[in-house]
Amino acid sequence: MKDQILSAIRQRLQARGLDAYIAYTPSNVFYATGFQSYFLMQWWRMQGTVLAVIPADESVEVGMMVGDFEAKPAQRVSGIEDVRAYRLWPEIRDAEAVQEPLGSGESEMPRPAQFDEGEQDEIVRGLLGDRGLLGARIGTDLRYMLLDSHRRFSALAPEAEWVDFTGDMYELRRIKYPFEVERLRRATELSEAGMRFAVENLAPGMSATDVRHRYVMGVARAAMEDPRYQDYSDQWILPAVGAGVGIGVDSERGAGLQDGDLIKFDCGTTVGGYRGDGGRTFAYGKVKPTAGRLFGVLQEAHDRACAEIRPGVEVGEIFRIAQDHITKNGYPRFRRGHYGHSLGIDTFHEEPPYVSEGDRTIIESGMVLAIETPAYTTDAGAIMIEDLVHVLPGGIERLHRLPHGLTVIS
């Protein structure tokens, strides 16, 4: 599968008249190589420290730069032969090697506090130079590149022309291979297990933070009990209880769960590097009329939008269907910027295209879209109705399986 991904990148480079692509963002390094660098994926300040150089010419091998702590797994997972490592701060040699006495006049080279930028720059210069790319037209993720990285790239290859390739990579990534769909399916299954566990045995006074903790516990329990989820790595959740509609833990400490409150889940898990997204809403004890009415219209809008998703339709048309249904059925002032998005491997799960007004992106078979019709109201409560839908030649497959409808939890 990695060969197919690399071939698609190379074909796009050739179509753009580019000589090479440097994968820079954590997502694109992972997508192009299959290797998830812990340093790069977890810490944004490490951007620019793990790279892949992909020549447009298929006869020229791919090269990679990575810290020495991760060099062996990077080569094993990616299958790239030319992996060049710079020194990071940890000592990684065996105890037997480091206890060997120093010879006369011998000294050990000190390790850097983090890494040596000069050493990194020499590696990048070598990767480009050995492939005849120092004066080439090179695509990279300029939209999300640190200014310092751009300065250093420009200095080490002053005759190169740097071209933004960000949009091209999102276009390539929005059509999912079967293995990607499977990872998103498993991420969805885990998230639904977390939601089911979270709403068991709720009690008055529980906060959104309590719901958060129960969701995390439910996801972990499901992951531990089934080897299908051995590649699970993390989860995220934006819960709400009652009138609390803010985002973040500082907004989750309200009056506590009361009869008639809504419990909103907007959440996902990551399996094999693929981050899911979805949500459901539950009512505690009873459904208040204002909440039931709003929920009903939003559910209808969601159903109508999903029913029209098929290859050949513009994503902007799906937005119009959802928006029109809401405004024509009792909520003429209701507005949202989008009713869904693509997703996959970015740490922020929303990826383009967005199901937004005027977006002319044509829906294609193989896409996976998150379709959502939420509302954040302090009177009715927060509502989330969101499914992942896999676009098939003749319609969609819903990856979420939890029932729709405002389920009452007692």
Residue 133's pLDDT is 98
**pLDDT tens, position by position, 374-386:** 999 989 999 999 9
**pLDDT tens, position by position, 182-196:** 999 999 999 999 999
Closest by alpha carbon to 169, among 38, 18, 35, 310? 18
- pTM given for the model: 0.95
Query: Where does the pLDDT of residue 243 fall: very low under 50, low under 70, confident under 90, or very high at 90 and above?
Result: confident
Alpha-carbon distance 366 to 6, whole Å? 18
Alpha-carbon distance 261 to 282, whole Å? 8
**Would you put residue 109 in left (φ > 0), alpha (ψ -120 to 50) or beta?**
beta
Average pLDDT, the chain: 96
Mean pLDDT of all residues in 399-409: 95
Query: Where does the pLDDT of residue 249 fall: very low under 50, low under 70, confident under 90, or very high at 90 and above?
Result: low
Query: Where does the pLDDT of residue 140 fall: very low under 50, low under 70, confident under 90, or very high at 90 and above?
Result: very high
Query: Where does the pLDDT of residue 238 fall: very low under 50, low under 70, confident under 90, or very high at 90 and above?
Result: very high
Residue with tokens 């209808």, as numbered in its chain:
300
Query: Where does the pLDDT of residue 252 fall: very low under 50, low under 70, confident under 90, or very high at 90 and above?
Result: low
Residue 40's pLDDT is 85
Residue with tokens 């309200």, as numbered in its chain:
254
Residue 142's pLDDT is 98
Query: Where does the pLDDT of residue 263 fall: very low under 50, low under 70, confident under 90, or very high at 90 and above?
Result: very high
Closest by alpha carbon to 161, among 169, 170, 153? 153
Query: Where does the pLDDT of residue 218 fall: very low under 50, low under 70, confident under 90, or very high at 90 and above?
Result: very high
Collapsed DSSP state (helix, strand, coil) of residue 405: coil
Query: Where does the pLDDT of residue 42 fall: very low under 50, low under 70, confident under 90, or very high at 90 and above?
Result: confident
Q: State percent of the chain over pLDDT 70.
A: 97
Closest by alpha carbon to 352, among 336, 366, 340, 337? 340
Q: Where are the domains of the chain?
A: 2-173, 178-409
Residue 41's pLDDT is 84
Please give the single-letter amino acid code of residue 261. D
Please check whether residue 297 is in contact with residue 343, taking contact to mean a CB–CB distance below 8 angstroms: no
Say yes or no to pLDDT of 152 above 70: yes
Residue 202's pLDDT is 93
Residue 253's pLDDT is 67
**pLDDT tens, position by position, 325-355:** 999 999 999 999 999 999 999 999 999 999 9
CATH assignment of 178-409, among 3.90.230.10, 2.60.120.260, 3.30.565.10, 3.30.70.60: 3.90.230.10
Alpha-carbon distance 217 to 214, whole Å? 5
Residue 125's pLDDT is 98
Output the CATH code of domain 2-173.
3.40.350.10
**pLDDT tens, position by position, 298-309:** 999 999 999 999
Please give the single-letter amino acid code of residue 237. I
Say yes or no to pLDDT of 368 above 70: yes
Residue 201's pLDDT is 87
What sections of 158-207 are H helices per DSSP? 166-173, 178-198
Please check whether residue 379 is in contact with residue 296, taking contact to mean a CB–CB distance below 8 angstroms: no
